[in-house]
Amino acid sequence: MKKILGMFLGLALVLVFAGCGGGGSDADVIKAQKQAMDDFSASMEKAGDGAQMAAAIDGFRETLEEIAPQAKALQEKYPGMKEGKDLPEDLQKEIEGLEASAMKMMGAMMKAAQSEDPQVQAAMQKLQEAMQKMQ
């Protein structure tokens, strides 16, 4: 459990500084990331049972798998991104706006990690495996 939570904390930091999405400006990439995090958090908040929670986790995992190439490309373009250095002003503003979304996402992850439902645990395991592939 602690290992999973630690990975999610690490993931939140990577997502905050990596961004996602496709096409458009770099700021649009960060906006798309914020939307994905907000959607996941809202789905987890509304989830009334294990099946709904598992569906939210699976959807988030699928999004992470889709965004991995864009996240890596953005990190290559801006090597100082993880430290928040050497970024254009518009990109920096979008990244700063992700903090609240990241906090909501961590609350959703905690809810999932605390669930004993087998469907949720299976979805969390798949998410963990996808996250390991991205590192």
Domain map (residue ranges) of the chain:
2-134
Stated pTM of the model: 0.76
Quote the DSSP letter at residue 23: S
Q: Crossing angle, helix 26-46 and helix 50-77, to 10 degrees?
A: 170
Q: What is the pLDDT of residues 9-50, one digit of tens each?
A: 455 545 544 444 444 677 777 787 888 889 999 999 999 999
Quote the DSSP letter at residue 79: T
Query: Is there a contact between 53 and 120 (Cβ–Cβ < 8 Å)?
Result: yes
Q: What is the pLDDT of residues 83-128, one digit of tens each?
A: 777 888 888 888 888 888 989 999 999 999 899 999 999 999 999 8
